[in-house]
């Protein structure tokens, strides 16, 4: 764990507030200890609800590595990741995550990620945002096509 990088994400988060963005910053560091991705929260600035600091840093790091996986990299982030970023971290197959502030601090700051974590545990019909399964005929066909497709790039 590199304290300089950890502190840097917190400073990025503070600086981002001055730029009228959300109070979050993140850095992706490769196996040589080099920063290959940096991101601050630009949700409201870019009209992109997915533009959290971690997502921005991961996307930049993947472009730098020309790869959709970051298995030899670690992520430093100013705050414990939300469920969306948690998922992105797993899909990117990062090695480890270091975070500064925890979910409780984020909630006190007005960012209630815990609510999304709780909703996820509920059966879909009990959620505030309902998810409805439509048992369409042929809904499995995309996976059948995928399985028989030659030379596919798995991920």
Q: Which residues are catalytic?
A: 54
Among residue numbers 64 through 93, which ones bind a second copy (CB under 8 A)?
Answer: 65-70, 78-93
Among residue numbers 9 through 38, which ones bind a second copy (CB under 8 A)?
Answer: 10, 13-14, 16-18, 20, 22-25
104-112 long-range Cβ contacts below 8 angstroms, 24+ apart: 105/79, 106/79, 106/80, 109/23, 111/22, 111/79, 111/82
Q: What is the SS3 assignment for 82? A: coil
Q: What is the SS3 assignment for 122? A: coil
By beta-carbon proximity to a second copy, the closer residue of 6 and 35 is 6
Q: Does residue 80 contact residue 101 with C-beta atoms inside 8 Å?
A: yes
Q: Minimum distance between the CB of residue 32 and a second copy, rounded to whole angstroms? A: 20
Q: Could you tell me how many residues make up the chain?
A: 155
Q: DSSP assignment, residue 149?
A: -
Dihedral sign, Cα of residue 118, residue 124, residue 129, residue 133 = positive
Q: Which of 31, 34, 108, 122 binds a second copy (CB under 8 A)?
A: 108
Q: Which of 32, 125, 126, 153 binds a second copy (CB under 8 A)?
A: 153
Q: Which of 120, 122, 123, 125 binds a second copy (CB under 8 A)?
A: 120
Q: Minimum distance between the CB of residue 127 and a second copy, rounded to whole angstroms? A: 9
Q: Which of 3, 123, 125, 126 binds a second copy (CB under 8 A)?
A: 3
Query: Does residue number 138 form part of the binding site for a second copy (CB under 8 A)?
Result: yes
Q: Angle 53-65/3-18 helices, nearest 10 degrees?
A: 120
Q: Which of 4, 32, 123, 132 binds a second copy (CB under 8 A)?
A: 132
# residues contacting a second copy (CB under 8 A): 91
């Amino acid at each position: 764990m590199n304290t300089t990088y950890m502190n840097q994400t917190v400073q990025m988060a503070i600086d981002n507030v001055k730029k009228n963005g959300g109070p979050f910053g993140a850095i992706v560091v490769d196996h040589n200890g080099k920063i290959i991705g940096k991101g601050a929260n630009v949700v409201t600035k870019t009209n992109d609800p997915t533009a959290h600091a971690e997502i921005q840093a991961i996307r930049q790091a993947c472009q730098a590595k020309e790869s959709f996986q970051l298995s030899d990299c670690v992520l430093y982030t100013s705050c414990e990741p939300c469920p969306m970023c948690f998922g992105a971290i797993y899909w990117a197959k990062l090695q480890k995550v270091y975070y500064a502030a925890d979910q409780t601090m984020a909630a006190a700051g007005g960012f209630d990620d815990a609510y999304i974590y709780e909703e996820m545990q509920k059966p879909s019909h009990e959620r505030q945002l309902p998810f409805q399964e439509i048992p369409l005929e042929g809904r499995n066909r995309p996976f059948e096509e995928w399985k028989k497709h030659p030379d596919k790039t798995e991920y």
